[in-house]
Structure 1
């Protein structure tokens, strides 16, 4: 959106861009980001060999539920932050609640284990690479989502950048679940969340520069 267009809308008493262009831009960004993450994952990591078997278990879908819920929450927040004059308000809970649930479940599960077994549940076998892999897979979506946000005249640039980064990170984590062998809830609560936090922080840092229109 151009400055003259925004001025015309403000003068007409309509502070927010129409929903249809917003939905189209985000749909295109999500498609490009998802496709890019899938291609990167297939080329760099591959799909886990037992995916068909593990996908038949409730635990796998519990793992997928965390990034899927955050994709929806971050998309909701990004869509509102991308438009001037639109508040996010209590909708931040759509981001906070899934993370809080996973952390709560992690604490309960760890408390039920012997002290000597707890660290293994948190670290798994891939803790050194998991967050960086997620951050790498998030790059296509990060670029696409920030493009979508920038075209809708955001005014809260750091918050909009952070929400867009979280959306990219959650989408990348969703794809990464097709490769990741880790099935312990405490592992997801630490390393998946950290992996999503990296593009979130990058969006917060780069928002004022990349989203300025």
Structure 2
């Protein structure tokens, strides 16, 4: 038997590889998880009553930009970490950029503010519940994202889990923006990021167990 015939025989009946499998799984994960987090936010916390007026202000969209940018960057990192041998590359810089931007803006605003106004700018009125609320809203996305990753082939399980957790936290923060009354950049720079950090750490801790294949 010739080599070509042997290869053809071995390859017979092998299903074609779906090169869009990763995109399909993450599309479904983000759609279902994002809807789940939004519905959970509306049921548990409720949409802020003045949302119609607030969404017309530039500050609301600046607020929304922080978790949105982190979610897009985390999605890129998570998708790459779900495939063996894929380099994360510029996704790290994309993750760092919005965080550094909001921290720099916070330092400038606190420097310009009167000394007695600085702590209230950071603490806001809901600092006790903000991180916990974001962590709770991240649960639907956490489940769907880890489902998507588990169906692929991640090899750096702890890092992949952390990226997936951050994706869940950032998506939850997007939904939470439609409830949260806080409109101060220093507040977001501390408590929103802390809320996103909780599912990130959970993903890093659970990644080796949930993503093992």
- Provide TM-score, normalisation by structure 1: 0.91
Which residue of structure 2 lines up, in the alignment, with residue 4 of structure 1?
A: none
**CA–CA separation in structure 1 for the residues paired with 2:139 and 2:80:** 22
**CA–CA separation in structure 1 for the residues paired with 2:208 and 2:186:** 34
Which residue of structure 2 lines up, in the alignment, with residue 203 of structure 1?
A: 203
Q: CA deviation at 1:168?
A: 0.3
Deviation readout 1:12-42 (Å, 9 max, x if unpaired): 9xxxx85410000000100111111011111
CA RMSD of aligned residues (A): 1.2
The 5 A counterparts of 1:1-213 are 19-213=19-213
Deviation readout 1:152-183 (Å, 9 max, x if unpaired): 11000001000000000000000000000000
Cα distance 1:110–1:67, how it changes in 2: closer, same or farther (>3 A)? same
Name which one, 1 or 2, has greater alpha-carbon Rg.
2
**CA–CA separation in structure 1 for the residues paired with 2:49 and 2:19:** 42
Cα distance 1:151–1:88, how it changes in 2: closer, same or farther (>3 A)? same
User: Which 4+ runs in 1 deviate beyond 6 A?
Assistant: none
Does 70-79 or 82-91 show the bigger shift? 82-91
Q: Residue 74 of structure 2 contacts residue 91 of structure 2 at CA under 8 Å; is this kept in 1?
A: no
**CA–CA separation in structure 2 for the residues paired with 1:110 and 1:127:** 17
Deviation readout 1:77-126 (Å, 9 max, x if unpaired): 00000000101123201111001000000000010001110000000000
Q: CA deviation at 1:75?
A: 0.3
Structure 2 residues not aligned, in runs of 5+: 1-10, 12-16
**CA–CA separation in structure 1 for the residues paired with 2:56 and 2:110:** 25
Count residues with an aligned counterpart.
198
Q: CA deviation at 1:186?
A: 0.3
